[in-house]
């Protein structure tokens, strides 16, 4: 069985699209540094992994290997919650070290790379 990642790739594009639009606007406005200090990367990661967690709920029990599947659900949940905590921290805490902004961008990019195969897997497992 060949696996098609097309649906997950489209989902990832639409998750990243608002960030790409903001990037374009900030570049045109000559404000690249303010783009790097957006907290939206954490919010996008949280939304992305929240959607992935929701997909896990549609997988029929017969397609789950109990322990391994629930472990993946926990990983997905933790990634979503940590990203949301980062987003909230960026909103509430003044003067955050610039390295944390870079860390959230790296987390977002790595998150997209994991999202595509995981989303495809959840879609495949959801099929009866």
The answer as to whether 49 is a domain residue is yes
pLDDT single digits (tens) 57-83: 888 888 888 778 888 899 999 999 999
- For the chain, give the mean pLDDT: 91
The answer as to whether 52 is a domain residue is yes
- Could you give the number of structural domains in the chain? 1
Reply yes or no on whether the pLDDT at 111 is more than 90. yes
The answer as to whether 128 is a domain residue is no
pLDDT at 120: 92
Q: Which pTM was predicted?
A: 0.87
The answer as to whether 81 is a domain residue is yes
The answer as to whether 1 is a domain residue is no
CA distances from 56 to 7, 10, 17, 83, 112 (A): 16, 19, 24, 19, 17
pLDDT at 54: 92
Domain that residue 56 falls in: 6-97+105-123
- Residues in the chain, total: 128
Distance CA 115, CA 15 (A): 11
pLDDT at 11: 93
Chain-centre distance for alpha carbon 101: 15
């Amino acid at each position: 069985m060949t696996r098609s990642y097309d649906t997950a790739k489209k989902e990832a594009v639409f998750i990243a699209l608002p960030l790409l639009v903001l990037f374009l606007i900030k570049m045109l406005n000559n404000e690249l540094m303010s783009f790097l200090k957006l907290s939206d990367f954490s919010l996008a990661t949280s939304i992305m992994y929240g959607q992935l967690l929701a997909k896990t709920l549609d997988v029929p029990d017969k397609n789950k290997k109990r322990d391994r599947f629930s472990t993946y659900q926990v990983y997905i949940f933790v990634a979503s919650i940590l990203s949301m905590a980062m987003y909230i921290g960026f909103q509430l805490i003044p003067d955050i070290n610039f390295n944390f902004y870079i860390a959230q961008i790296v987390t977002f990019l790595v998150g997209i790379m994991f999202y595509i195969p995981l989303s495809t897997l959840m879609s495949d497992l959801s099929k009866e």
